[in-house]
Amino acid sequence: MRILLTGAAGFLGSHLTARLLSEGHSVVAIDNLSTGRIKNMGPFVENDKFEFMEHDVRDPITVEVDQILNFACPASPIHYQSDPVRTIETNFLGMINLLHLSKARDIPLLQASTSEVYGDPDISPQPEEYWGNVNPIGIRSCYDEGKRASETLCFDYKRQYGIDTRVIRIFNTYGPNMAIADGRVVSNFIVQALTDQDITIYGDGSQTRSFCFVDDLVRGILKMMNLPYSPDTPINLGNPNEFTMLELANKVIQMTKSNSKIDFLPLPEDDPRQRRPDISKAISLLNWRPEVELDEGLGRTIEYFSGELKQ
């Protein structure tokens, strides 16, 4: 197929591009390079089945493709909060523009949503039926509510126009190709440990996250993409193994043999206390579950950042 991939120069987009090309698809890669890195596209530029376009999804686009994968939006709080208006516009206007293309071409669209739609959850693990506990006017709401609005649009277009829209809710994902200044917890901890800086933990470190290695996530995305029908539900994709921030920090210090100390800072506004996916739908509908354990994934990610820091 000829696939339109937005957010292609980002962390997840670069891994998806590699996988799609390896499976024989053609990729029209789109990114406005606000947070994506053109170097992530370097390995593909000589491939005849790869085409890169610098474009902002907030502007309409017309292109001949067979499927759309929408990954256009900063996913790190430090990035999506730096320009909150652009963030919510990307989620809302970008979604509308891509849905218009999907409708005009009568092609499937897969939307990359997020576990952030659950907000600071009152229940754990979080099933897809849970409506969430989200502050609509807080500093994270440009992303949280933006993604919730994107899901609304996908399902309204599905019901009203019969469009094949598919929504995945991605939980914390990590791996090679993350930027050094990405701002997410795994990359922060690893870079700080490798450079013997203090590791910053917000709050007392008891808040939890579940970490999915990028290879596992890409497998799940492709299974969702290739599903022969359009599910009438979002599907959680993440690793249900749960770790506290303090456990993660100590593990990174141990694996990097770092001299870093831990520095506790105030917890940011609306920072979730818990994040753990219920993946029973992914198991039953996609026959998918993560395979890479945290130690293995961290080892591969530490190796990547060690190389990046030497450049």
Residues carrying an active site annotation: 143
- Largest CA-CA distance found in the chain, in angstroms, rounded: 58
Q: Which of 241, 242, 251 is nearest to 199 (CA)?
A: 251
Identify any residues that bridge with 113 across adjacent strands, giving them in sequence order. Answer: 169
Separation of alpha carbons 43 and 45, rounded Å: 6
- Helices within 195-271 (DSSP H only): 214-226, 245-256
Identify any residues that bridge with 174 across adjacent strands, giving them in sequence order. Answer: 213
Q: Which of 58, 50, 63, 67 is nearest to 34 (CA)?
A: 58
Separation of alpha carbons 299 and 22, rounded Å: 24
Exposure pattern of 75-87 as b/e (b: 16+ CB <10 Å)? bbbebbbeeeebb
Separation of alpha carbons 111 and 204, rounded Å: 34
63 token code pair: 């292109």
